[in-house]
Amino acid sequence: MILLLITIVLGLVMLIAAVIAVYNKDMKTAIIAAGLTSLFASVLYVLLAAPDVALTEASIGSGLTTLIFFYVYNKIRRNNAQE
């Protein structure tokens, strides 16, 4: 019963974060919201009895993807400011 409640709360937070990632005008907020969706998906994988997948999603989806997004965003901003 308590597991069901945790799943419902996680699902709602993931959906709200996904909507923020698509609709927000500011780019930094959108990138962090996409990383937050991956992080909560990793917790959902632990509840679905898949610890390998949870480890992979937490390290790659929520760590390295956000890092690469921020590097590219920074380069584009620096390029814009130079011209």
Partner 1 sequence: MQLFSIEYISLVVGFLILIIGIWGILTRKNILKMVIGFSLFDTGTHIIIVALGYVRNKTAPILDQVNLQTNTAQKIVDPVPQALVLTAIVIGLGVTALMLVYAMKLHNEKKTLNIEKYNDLKW
Partner 2 sequence: MLRNSLILLVLLGFAAAVFPLVQSYEGKDTLTGVAEHYANYGKEEVGAANLVSAVVVTYRGFDTLGEVTILFLASAVIGLFLKVSETHTKDSRSVFFKSTEILVTASRLLVPMIMLLGAYIFINGHLTPGGGFQGGAVIASAFALLLLSRPQKHFSHKVISVVESISGIAFVFIGLLGILLAGGFLDNHIFAMGKFGTLLSAGAIPIIYILIGLKVGSELTGIVRNLKESQKVG
CA distances (Å), origin 26, targets 13, 18, 21, 30, 33:
20, 14, 9, 7, 11
Scanning residues 23 to 82, which ones bind partner 2 (CB under 8 A)? 51-52, 54-56, 59-60, 63-64, 67-68, 71-72, 75, 79
Q: Which of 26, 36, 37, 78 binds partner 1 (CB under 8 A)?
A: 37
Scanning residues 53 to 72, which ones bind partner 1 (CB under 8 A)? 53, 56-57, 60-61, 64-65, 68-69, 72
Amino acid symbol at 33: A
Joined together, the tokens standing for residue 54 give 């949870």
Q: Could you say which of partner 2, partner 1, none residue 38 binds, taking C-beta under 5 to 8 angstroms by partner kind?
A: partner 1
Rounded CA-CA distance 75/83 in Å is 13
Residue pair 6/47 in contact (Cβ under 8 Å)? The answer is yes
Applying CB under 8 A, the residues found at the interface with partner 2 are 51-52, 54-56, 59-60, 63-64, 67-68, 71-72, 75, 79
